[in-house]
Amino acid sequence: MTNFLKYKDYLAKINFSGKEALYGNILGINDLVTFEGRSFKEVKNLFIKRLMTIWLLVWL
């Protein structure tokens, strides 16, 4: 099963693993940025946190 998450202008591809975990990666950027969680809410929060980290690294 594959779903997508959107935050601002960024998109992440979310997949379900057979181990009852969700994992994803951010699309449309040059780096491979991944995240993993057990619930949709956790994955969404991690997606946003990863984006914030990228923004801080780029803008500081």
pLDDT in tens, 11-22: 999 999 877 899
Which own/partner pairs from 16-23 qualify as long-range (CB within 8 Å, at least 24 positions apart)? none
Domain, as residue range, for 21: 2-59
Position 1 scores a pLDDT of 67
Q: What is the pTM of this model?
A: 0.85
Query: Which parts of the chain have pLDDT scores under 70?
Result: 1
- Please state the domain count of the chain: 1
Transcribe 1-60 into DSSP letters.
-EEEEEETTEEEEEEEETTTEEEEEEESSSS--EEEESSHHHHHHHHHHHHHHHHHHHH-
